[in-house]
Structure 1
Amino acid sequence: MKPVTRQQLALRNGQDKPEIWIAYKGTIYDVTKSRLWKNGKHYEHWAGQDLTEELKDAPHTEEVFKRFKAIGHLIEP
């Protein structure tokens, strides 16, 4: 898996680049093909960022990430 900075992740928000990525617990997931992430938004959550803290309020568990391909790991610059 490739290293991804927060700046690179931010560009995969469904607006700036064709890919839609999210991060959870340091892993970057590609959610581009998910109909639930169309245009980079899933309910009140936005792509291109780390959603680790936001999952605490979600109606599902982290098992949902098994549906998506892990493509990298989040690094700090």
Structure 2
Amino acid sequence: MTKQELAKFDGREGRKAYVAVSGKIYDVTASALWENGDHQGLHAAGGDLTEELKTAPHVRSVVERFPVVGTLDEEPPPKKKKWGLF
């Protein structure tokens, strides 16, 4: 799943709430702590939380308890611009 696809799973308006951590995508929809895709006003569903979890008050294993529903695709490297007349 790409980051753009993941963003659609924001937990709002009845949509599922997914978060990515270290390349895995977890379904946090069933958690009362992720109501409407918001986790205590600090984190939002639909994104990659890998960096954010480094400063979270709990360990990554808390997230790892949720079902894995996919993997996060790596972003392709930016295309190099070709310079020339044609």
**TM-score, scaled relative to structure 2:** 0.79
Q: One-letter code of the match for 1:66?
A: E
Identify the structure with bigger relative contact order (alpha carbons < 8 Å, sequence gap 6+).
Answer: 1
- SS of match in other structure, 1:37: helix
Partner of 1:47: 45
Partners of 1:18 and 1:49 lie apart in 2 by 14
Runs of 4 or more, structure 1, over 3 Å off, are none
More strand by share: 1
**TM-score, scaled relative to structure 1:** 0.88
Structure 2 gap segments, 5+ residues each: 77-86
1:16 CA displacement:
5.8
RMSD between superposed Cα atoms in Å:
1.4
1:67 CA displacement:
1.7
Partners of 1:56 and 1:66 lie apart in 2 by 14
Partners of 1:5 and 1:64 lie apart in 2 by 23
Structure 1 gap segments, 5+ residues each: none
Q: Report how many aligned residue pairs link the two structures.
A: 74
8 A contact 1:20–1:48 mirrored in 2: yes
